[in-house]
Amino acid sequence: MANRPASPVRDPNAGGLRVAPFRFDVTPPLGHPLCGGLIKPVEVVDDALEAVGVVLLGAGAPIVLCAVDWTGLLNEAAIAWRTALAAAAGTSVDRVAVHCVHQHNAPFVCLETERLLAAAGDLPHLVDVAFFNRCLAQARTAVTAALPRARPVSHVGCGQGKITGVASNRRVYRDAAGRVITMRGSLCKDPNLIALPEGLIDPFCRTLVFFDGEKKVAALHYYATHPMSYYGDGRVTSDFAGLARKQRQRDEPDCLHLYFTGCAGNIAAGKYNDGAKETRPILTGRMYDGFLASEASLTRVPVTTWAWRTEEILPPPRASLRADDLARQIADPAGSIPDRVRAAYRLAWLRRVAAKVPITLSCLHVGGARLLHLPGEAFIEYQLRAQQLPSDGFACTAAYGDGGPWYIPVKEEYPNEGYEVSVAFCEPAIDDILTGGIRRVLSASASS
């Protein structure tokens, strides 16, 4: 089963819409692995990591949207988070969207990969499973406590503001044939790479606000870039995107602020970030200013109808990935630790596909806006396509949902190689499958 039809629009007139904000701490303990065990583990916590979300009530079964200050949730781990939130909210798993912001000094969790690493015996762990389970318990507690405090939603506001001096395309240094020579990453010190143009990006922060009368209850912000300034030093932080969100939260303690990273698989701050510690607050300020600009442009409309649509996909893995070869690579003590760990992530994806466990795409239609939820490290092109598809709506895109497939390039970029293509777990056919799913979940108007 590679595709399933989109679910029908759910009960668009099921009574007044209400929103229940929630948040809880997901900071890993000292010594915990960061970025899947590929960088230095936790030595210091500079600022706390949070899971921040809302439960929407009155639109049929509850809907949960949640952003987590972690690097990623993959496969079984992503489903476990959605299952815990669904149980607490009294809804089904297909009505829960969980996305990571993708800071790198943070946990990156695949439970099957952790089992493979543990079985090898000489590889680093990527997650403390007891800590992971405590986070799920905290998720259930936070949502259960939030439900009685749900507030009516009378209006939604949509706006966008330009963010300058943050995002740049990572794949701009190419040869004459268009092949990528090297990646301009999250930080860059090479003056030749810095001098290259920004390349294809989405420069806008988009914001959707749920209002109770004149009062803001929750503000959801969306922007596409890898959200790291410097990392790999064992210092846990929500980095510049999270720090900007926290600043807005301090400004408005009665309005919950959420931040979702968009399709940033080929987008980072490299053109504007030299990795100096002094640069982080500059990037934070630019993000914060973008949030303010987006909120300043809000257009409020009454909420009369809403809908939730889903699509299940299961894209084919790369033909070059073979389970026996990956198992041997994981077990080979002569191999490098990063290569063996990445092989475990690849084998976990192969096993998921073999078990036919799909990825869920989803979209909330509300007040003329569409909130789109996508997996993995999707390229910016998917976000830009999504903005062109709705003929009468405002589209906000959250990527870094289920991270099982890792990077998701567009099919045109596979021949151009480069880092992102080399760590993509799926065949180029994922482009047509994902784009088709995006089109279908975006297509229904909220009044249908």
Look up residue 206 and give its two tokens. 């988009």
Q: 59 or 144: which carries more pLDDT confidence?
A: 144
Residue among 221, 410, 372, 246 nearest 298 (CA):
221
pLDDT in tens, 376-433: 999 999 999 999 886 567 899 999 999 999 999 999 999 999 999 999 999 999 999 9
**Can you give the pLDDT at residue 6?**
42
Lowest mean pLDDT, pick from 1-5, 76-80, 183-187: 1-5
Check residue 3 and report its DSSP letter: B
Closest of 208, 374, 203 to residue 287, by C-alpha: 203
Q: What share of the chain is helix, strand, coil (3-state, %, to 5)?
A: 35, 25, 40
Cβ contact 284:240 at 8 Å = yes
Instruction: Note the pLDDT tens digit of each residue in 227-281.
Output: 999 999 999 999 999 999 999 999 999 999 999 999 999 999 999 999 999 999 9
Q: Is residue 212 part of a domain?
A: yes
Question: Is residue 11 one of the residues assigned to a domain?
Answer: no
The residue-averaged pLDDT of 14-37 equals 92
| 3-class SS of residue 355 | coil
pLDDT tens digits, one per residue of 162-177: 999 999 999 999 999 9
- In contact, 126 and 36? CB cutoff 8 Å: yes
Q: Which helix (H) or strand (E) holds 383?
A: helix 380-388
What band does 7 get if pLDDT is binned at 50, 70 and 90? very low
User: CA 249 to CA 392: how far, in whole Å?
Assistant: 31
The answer to whether position 395 is within a domain reads yes
* Residue 2 binned pLDDT confidence (cut-offs 50, 70, 90): very low
Task: Give residue 368's pLDDT band: very low, low, confident or very high (50, 70, 90).
Answer: confident
On whether residue 177 sits in a domain, the answer given is: yes
In a domain, 372, yes or no: yes
Closest CA to 278 of 240, 329, 324: 240
Q: Torsions phi, psi of 418, nearest 5?
A: 95, 170
The b/e string for 269-296 (b: 16+ C-beta within 10 A; e otherwise) is bbbbbbbeeebbebbbebbbbbbbbbbe
pLDDT value of residue 392: 61
User: What angle, rounded to 10 degrees, do the helices at 337-354 and 111-120 form?
Assistant: 130
Q: DSSP letters along 161-220, please?
A: EE--SS-EES--EE-TTS-EEE---SS---HHHHHS---S---EEEEEEEEETTEEEEEE
Query: 229 near 166, Cβ under 8 Å?
Result: no
Start-to-end Cα distance in the chain: 27
Mean pLDDT of 4-32: 74
pLDDT tens for each residue of 316-326: 999 999 999 99
The predicted model gives 436-447 an average pLDDT of 78
Mean pLDDT of the chain: 94
**pLDDT confidence of residue 389:** 83
What was the pLDDT predicted at 305?
Answer: 83
Nearest Cα neighbor of 84 from 26, 48, 151, 136 is: 136
- Residue labelled with tokens 């493979």: 116
CA–CA separation, 160 and 295 (whole Å): 7
Q: Which two tokens stand for residue 377?
A: 């490290």
- Contacts for 110 with CB less than 8 Å, ≥ 6 apart: 36, 72, 74, 75, 76, 77, 126, 345, 348, 403, 404
The DSSP code for 271 is T
Residue 152 phi/psi, 5° resolution? Answer: -65, 150
How far apart (Å, rounded) are the C-alpha atoms in residues 224 and 432?
21
**Residue 10: inside a domain, yes or no?**
no
The answer to the question of residue 53 being in a domain is: yes
pLDDT, position 4: 44
Nearest to 256 by CA among 418, 67, 410, 419: 67
> How many domains are contained in the chain?
1
Measured N-to-C along each axis, helices 76-89 and 111-120 cross at an angle, to the nearest 10 degrees, of 140
SS3 257: strand
| 12 within some domain | no
Task: Give the span between the Cα atoms of 374 and 185, in whole angstroms.
Answer: 22
- State phi, psi for 89 to the nearest 5 degrees: -85, -10
Domain of residue 276 covers: 18-443
Phi, psi (rounded to 5 degrees) for 165: 75, 30
Asked whether 50 and 67 are in contact (CB, 8 A), the reply is no
Per-residue confidence (pLDDT) for residue 304, from 0 to 100? 86
The pLDDT assigned to 444 comes to 63
Q: What is the pLDDT of residue 391?
A: 58
The tokens for 265 are 């698989």
Q: Is the pLDDT of residue 447 over 60?
A: no
Mean pLDDT, to the nearest integer, of 184-194? 95
Strand partners, 258: 220
State how far the Cα of 314 lies from the Cα of 48, in Å rounded to an integer.
34
Spatial contact of 242 and 27, defined as CB atoms under 8 Å apart: no
Closest CA to 396 of 341, 442, 355: 442
pLDDT digits (tens, 9 = 90+) for 285-316: 999 999 999 999 999 999 988 899 999 999 99
pLDDT value of position 141: 98
The side-by-side arrangement of strands in the sheet containing 50-57 is: 96-100, 63-68, 50-57, 18-25, 151-152
> Is 199 a residue whose pLDDT tops 70?
yes
What angle is formed at CA 225 by the lines to CA 418 and CA 423, rounded to 5 degrees? 30
CA separation for the pair 239, 398 (Å, rounded): 18
pLDDT at 393: 72
